[in-house]
Amino acid sequence: MNGLSIFLFLWIVLLIGAFIIGVVILFVGHLKKDKKNSTIKTGLIITAIPLAVLAILFLYDFARDKSTKKPSDKDLIGIYHISEASGQIPKALYSSYRLEFKNDGTFYLSPTPKISVCENGKFTVDWQFDYNELSFQCDKAFTLAHIDRGFSGFKIEFIIGDPDSGESIFFSKDK
């Protein structure tokens, strides 16, 4: 596990723990008989914090999905160069690697370290599968890539090795 995975795991454990503690305090507060019961209020607050975080995450994911454009095959057409490489390739060499999507549904990818895709083949876009929207066909073999959509455009992401490692090579479209 890398540092980010451990950090996210600890946050999830913390939120689950807070929720459980909040429910226990809320239950204890309901068992008390005094009229000015601040224990119920404390239990509600502690329980509401993880629920609010969860609601914010769901709303962000929903808003991001609805407010970012899913590029079509036609939107992909053009020339791309590396914009990020997770330390896999020196920045000075980013412009020497090229990915081109052509009008006829074919692509060209200059030989790029860590990416096992042929130089020429066909590409298709299928939004049915998250993180594998882009398919590169080389003879009878397929390689998948991710279209990383942002609020200001998109990048083509090739995940390097284990997906949990966080190492990727991103290609951005030339303007």
Q: Do 72 and 125 contact (CB within 8 A), yes or no?
A: yes
In 3-state terms, what secondary structure has residue 152? coil
Q: In CATH terms, is domain 73-173 a member of 2.40.128?
A: yes
Average pLDDT over residues 80-108: 90
pLDDT for position 46? 92
pLDDT for position 48? 93
CA distances from 42 to 13, 20, 21, 115, 164 (A): 20, 13, 10, 53, 37
Q: Which two tokens stand for residue 20?
A: 């459980």
pLDDT for position 104? 92
Q: Do 121 and 99 contact (CB within 8 A), yes or no?
A: no
pLDDT for position 77? 92
> Which of the four pLDDT bands, split at 50, 70 and 90, describes residue 35?
low
Average pLDDT, the chain: 86
pLDDT for position 2? 61
- Tokens 């502690």 -> residue: 46
Q: How many CB atoms lie within 10 A of CB 98?
A: 15
Domain boundaries, the chain: 3-67, 73-173
Residues 6+ apart with CB under 8 A from 16: 50
> Which of the four pLDDT bands, split at 50, 70 and 90, describes residue 7?
confident
> Which of the four pLDDT bands, split at 50, 70 and 90, describes residue 98?
very high
Read off the pLDDT of residues 57-85 as tens digits, 9 standing for 90 and up: 888 877 777 777 788 778 889 999 999 88
Average pLDDT over residues 96-104: 93
Above 90 in pLDDT, residue 21? yes
Above 70 in pLDDT, residue 4? no
Read off the pLDDT of residues 103-149 as tens digits, 9 standing for 90 and up: 999 999 999 888 888 889 999 888 887 778 888 998 888 888 888 88
Distance between the two ends of the chain, CA-based, in angstroms? 36
- Tokens 């990416």 -> residue: 115
